[in-house]
Structure 1
Amino acid sequence: MTIKVIATDMDGTLLDARGQLDLPRLEKILDQLDQRGIRFVIATGNEIHRMRQLLEHLVNRVVLVVANGARIFENNEPIQAQTWDDAIVDKALAHFKDRACQDQFVVTAMKGGFVKEGTIFTDLESFMTPEMIEKFYQRMQFVDELTSDLFGGVLKMSMVVGEERLSSVLEEINDLFDGRVRAVSSGYGCIDILQAGIHKAWGLEELLKRW
């Protein structure tokens, strides 16, 4: 069997326990993969901004399946994106409006990350360094109200509810949308809300078809 592609996740896989990446080691690995004609893909729930921050000068040398498959980048350029139906966006925003701050609700969109003013992210220190946390806050766009006209297309939504509420909120969301979007646990008491059928494996399949 000839290996043509290697794909990896980030958190708990390519990153260490503090959410950091050994760039010199990765660069040596990429050199060897290039010599053998093997593509290196990172499939992650993170969005492109954090990936560029983590990968620095190596971002052009990997293929990125980000936002749980909703966007794909090759040579640091977007090649594919899947955004939500507007009606589903409006339904989700209305449903979570009164608890957006409490549940640390984030809309990940084509125009960046959007958060309701007053939101405080309480658990970032468990998987980010202080420098990463500061940059995370700088990336977020804090707004008075989350409205669909801000986003330029929604890629995913996420929230932090804690381990004790995780199961009940997952069930709530999955019942609410009748399978059109789905909620999944992403660890640390966090939830990702994704388009049905759009996930990391889907993004990898799209790449394999393209290649």
Structure 2
Amino acid sequence: MMIKLVATDIDGTLVVDGSANLNPDYFPVFQRLMEKGILVVVASGRGESSIENIMKPIANQITMIAEGGSYVCAKGQTLELHKIPMEIVRELVMDIRSMTECEIMVNGPKCCYVETKDEKFLHWIIEDYHFNVIQVDDLLEVEDEIVKVSLYHPVDAGKQAKQGIFQKWEGRLHLAVSGNEWVDCVMPGINKGTALQKLQQQYGISKEETMVFGDNRNDLEMLEQAVYSFAVENAREEVKEKANYITDSNKNHGVLKVLRQLL
């Protein structure tokens, strides 16, 4: 086994969903992998600021697939950015506004915009997720390069989206369920897997030289890009079926156990 690229999801894979704390034992392992010439990629529906916070000791050394694949950066450089046209953003925002108990987040490459006044929700996304949040009065008036629109529901965002926006928007956008609370909407043909594929092409790395870890539906395309595809034990069943291997759960640091075998 000659691994040249390791890519991992964050929420549900490395940490419990929404956590800001990663087991510090990961950092020296990632560091040693990079010293061995292995490209370390962290792929998440989170934005850049949130990934930087959770990966702080090595954030300036890794490659980040952020915003579900629509924004890719490394060492302060933008590698990929896929904007959603503003007329689509505004129409989607209006559709989500009509849904009950749902919050909306509109994401640029460096920050996210919300119009909610819900203090509990704001505290959660700022203090736990460490999103770089800008509160606005009206999301329809935001002017930025929007790469993702996220629907939040406290219990089952996927179910709410299927009832509210999937029929209209599936195909016009790529809609990805991310955990129980989020559905991420990006440009069609964009996901973590397409972003990873471009990195593989850029560095001349094959699927046989790639190792990937995930737990949720928005990791499925990424798992297809690796022969050494791992689902954590707590992953959704369809993710376990897609993966070639199963490792221990996120709470038992299953990814760490596999990575140590590469050292």
Same fold (TM over 0.5): yes
- Contact 2:157–2:183 (Cα < 8 Å) also in 1: no
Whichever residue aligns with residue 31 of structure 1, its letter is: Q
The secondary structure found in structure 1 opposite 2:13 is: helix
Cα shift readout 1:141-195 (whole Å, capped 9, x = no counterpart): 11111125x2422111112224456424225312112511133321233222222
The aligned residue for residue 153 of structure 1 is 145
CA shift at 1:122, angstroms? 4.3
Unaligned runs of 5+ in 2: 204-263
On the 8 A contact 1:170/1:191 being kept in 2, the answer is no
Distance 1:80 1:164, change over 3 A: closer
2:115 and 2:136 in contact (8 A); partners too? yes
Which SS does the other structure have where 1:96 is aligned?
helix
Deviations 1:13-49 (A, max 9, x none): 12256441133x2332133213321111111100001
Task: Give the paired residue count.
Answer: 202
Q: Is the 8 A contact 2:95 2:165 kept in 1?
A: no
2:118 and 2:153 map into 1 onto residues whose CA distance is 13
User: Kindly tell me: are residues 166 and 177 of structure 1, through their superposed partners in 2, closer, same or farther at Cα, counting changes over 3 Å?
Assistant: closer
8 Å contact from structure 1 (residues 104, 120) kept in 2: no
- Deviation, structure 1 residue 4: 0.7
Structure richer in helix, relative to its length = 1
Q: Which residue of 2 aligns with 1:20?
A: 21
1:158/1:165 CA distance change after superposition, 3 Å: closer
How many percent of aligned residue pairs carry the same amino acid?
Answer: 21
Question: What is the correspondence of 1:1-211 to structure 2 with a 5 Å cutoff?
Answer: 1-16=1-16, 18-23=19-24, 25-98=25-98, 102-122=101-121, 131-132=127-128, 135-136=130-131, 139-147=132-140, 150-163=142-155, 166-211=158-203
TM-score between both structures, scaled by the size of structure 2: 0.67
Gap change, CA 1:48 and 1:164, over 3 Å in 2? closer
Question: 8 Å contact 1:183–1:192 — kept in the other structure?
Answer: yes
- 1:30/1:61 contact within 8 Å kept: no
**CA apart distance, 1:98:** 4.7
TM-score, structure 1 length as denominator? 0.82
